[in-house]
Amino acid sequence: MTLWFVRGLRRGVVTTRYPARPEESSAFLPTPPAFRPRALTPVTAGRLAETCPSGALQVVTGERGGDVLAFDVGRCTACGRCAAEAPHAVTPSGAFELAATTRSVLIKTIPLRGEER
Ligand code: SF4
Q: Structural domain boundaries of the chain?
A: 36-93+102-117
Nearest to 79 by CA among 51, 100, 58: 51
Triad 10, 16, 18: Cα angle to 5°: 175
Per-residue pLDDT of the chain (117 residues; tens, 9 = 90+): 788 788 778 877 667 788 898 888 788 889 999 999 999 999 999 999 999 999 999 999 988 888 999 999 999 999 999 999 999 999 999 888 888 999 999 999 999 998 876
Q: Which of 81, 90, 107, 110 to mutate to test the pocket of ligand 1 (most atoms within 8 A of CB)?
A: 81
Cα separation, 94 vs 27, in Å, equals 7
The atom of ligand 1 lying closest to the CA of 30 is 1
Nearest CA to ligand 1 atom 3: 76
Which CATH architecture describes the domain 36-93+102-117? 2-Layer Sandwich (3.30)
